[in-house]
Structures are given as structure tokens and as C-alpha cells.
Structure 1
């Protein structure tokens, strides 16, 4: 009877993965995980998003002041800001770690008149070494500067 190969010999390649192949897969997974972690947004949103929310609410306060023919006031504080109108008030908190600095306005307040004109002011928001400014012009225009 003829033997068809060595008793311990392998016919073809063994099934399974080599250590090198497994290491390459682990490196690829590690790189993919790093990319995902780096693209995650900041907790509470980015500082620019915080400035956009404030600017949008300031514009809405200005527009409502014109539509209602009654002024609106934004009061800026270290923990958040208030939007006050004759008929309603709203409070919004800053995202944790946000440090506001208001220049202009009067006593931490920005007032929009019934015509849409405003106390000129600049609000600078700082967090984690970054800063974004929201400018409010005398004509009521609200703009964000990086």
C-alpha cells in the first residue's frame, strides 16, 4: 500500500490566521477607534455652537422687540444669561466651563429697543483655551467672530 504523504506532513496551507495577520487587524481597529474618538464633539457642544445659540437668541430677542414694539434686555452672568421682555423672561445656562466676558452694554446688560437698535457690545466666550466673540452693533446686527 502506498502512502500519500508524510504522516505529519500538511497538505496545503493550514486553516486559520497567522500572528502577523491578527496584529495588522488590531492596528487597523486601533486606528479606526482613534479617528472616531478624535471626531467626537466636545461635551455640551463646541464653543462656536454655544456662540451660535447665543447669537440666534439675541437676534430673536431683537426681532421680537421690533414686532412687539417693546424693548428686550439680555443680562449676561457667569452661570448663564437671561432674556427679559415685558411679558416673559427666559434663562439659559452656559455649558460647563464657559467663561463669558462682556464689554460694552451697561452693567452686564444689552438692551434692544423697540426699533431694533441696541447697546453696542461684544461678548467673548472662552473655554479650554479657545475664544469666540459675538458682536452686537448699535444697529442691532449680531455677528460671530472666531
Structure 2
């Protein structure tokens, strides 16, 4: 027996109305007959009753469930991708290298397990560069940083006006993934991960 969202008529006598013979003075009379497939779509009750069948509601719920589960797989990692962090570091290092060549002034990149930053040599000493993109940056908390040429708390690489510098290898690791950033002595910067 079909069930609909507007209710279920459990009366065994009749399920749909069909016109009877014309009555007195042309007034139609209605008689009720037992349910049959031919009147399965007929309305029961008043003209204003409407609703969805249980099957239609279940189909909608299944579609919503599929869409919700697809959204879980599409959502990005809230921590960000590790390769993006490595590429941002490499882009800033490249900008420092370009600034040293254009301004004809030594620019240093310092790296530590806590973060990295940029300094400029003004003839008397190294001073921090505070303008974008050279502000000091902190590594994300869940990223382990390894510097191959570690010499104390901070490792410094100096970009000179000719574009040459000392080599630097930095590895970023999170969970099972890792990204390696290599700055070559000839000025090349490579990101692998």
C-alpha cells in the first residue's frame, strides 16, 4: 500500500472517486470505488492537499548525503599545503636575491628552526628589512625545519650584488610529507616535494 507525505487513507472501502451517471438536473454524482492502479495518481480529499511521496523524500536525502560526503573530500587541509610554504620561502629568497642585484647592496637570508627573515648590510652592520615581502616570518607550528648548513641558532646566506651566494638546503616536514628547498652557490633556487 503506497504511503505519502500527506497521510495514508486506511479505509478499505474506497481509494479514488470516479464520476457516476448524471443525476437529476445534470448534477454529477460521485461514487467511490476500491483502489486500482488506474487511479494511483488521483488526489485524495480536497484539491489543496499536496505533498511528496516517501520515495521522493528518500531520493532527496540520498542526493544530499552524496553531496555532503563529496564536500569532505574536496575541502582543503586547514593547515595549508607544505609545498605552498616551501614555494613561498623560495619566492621570498629569490626576491631577496633580485633586490641585492638591483640595489647593488648585500642582502642576507637567515633561517632557523623557528622562522626566517631578511637583513641588509648598510656599511656598518646588518639591519632587518621591514618592508614586504622581507618581514620576518615564523614557520607553522606543526612543521619541523632542518637546515643542512646549521651553524648556531641562525644560518645566514648572503646574496651579493653579482647574484652569487653560499649554498643552503632547508627541509620542511609535516606528518609523512616533506619539501626540500635548495639554494645553490650559483643563485639557483629549487623546490622539491
TM-score, structure 1 normalization: 0.83
Partner of 1:69: 104
1:98: how far off?
Answer: 1.4
Q: Gaps spanning 5+ residues in structure 2: where? A: 1-22, 24-28, 44-49, 122-126, 130-134
Q: Quote the Cα distance in structure 1 between the aligned partners of 2:66 and 2:186.
A: 50
The answer as to whether partners of 1:98 and 1:127 remain within 8 angstroms in 2 is yes
1:93: how far off?
Answer: 1.6
Alignment of 1:101-112 (within 5 A): 101-104=146-149, 106-107=151-152, 108-112=155-159
Instruction: Tell which structure's C-alpha radius of gyration is larger.
Output: 2
Q: Quote the Cα distance in structure 2 between the aligned partners of 1:67 and 1:88.
A: 18
For the residue of structure 1 that corresponds to 2:32, the secondary structure is coil
Q: Gaps spanning 5+ residues in structure 1: where? A: none
Q: Which has the higher contact order (CA 8 A, sep 6+)?
A: 1
Superposed CA offset, 1:3-38 (max 9, x none): 4323x8584426533334323322222221222222
2:142 aligned to 97, 116, 124, which one? 97
The root-mean-square deviation of aligned C-alpha atoms, in Å, is: 2.4
Alignment of 1:49-68 (within 5 A): 49-68=84-103
Partner of 2:83: 48
The answer as to whether partners of 2:112 and 2:147 remain within 8 angstroms in 1 is no
**Is 1:139 equivalent to 2:166 in the alignment?**
no
Q: What count of residue pairs does the alignment treat as equivalent?
A: 145
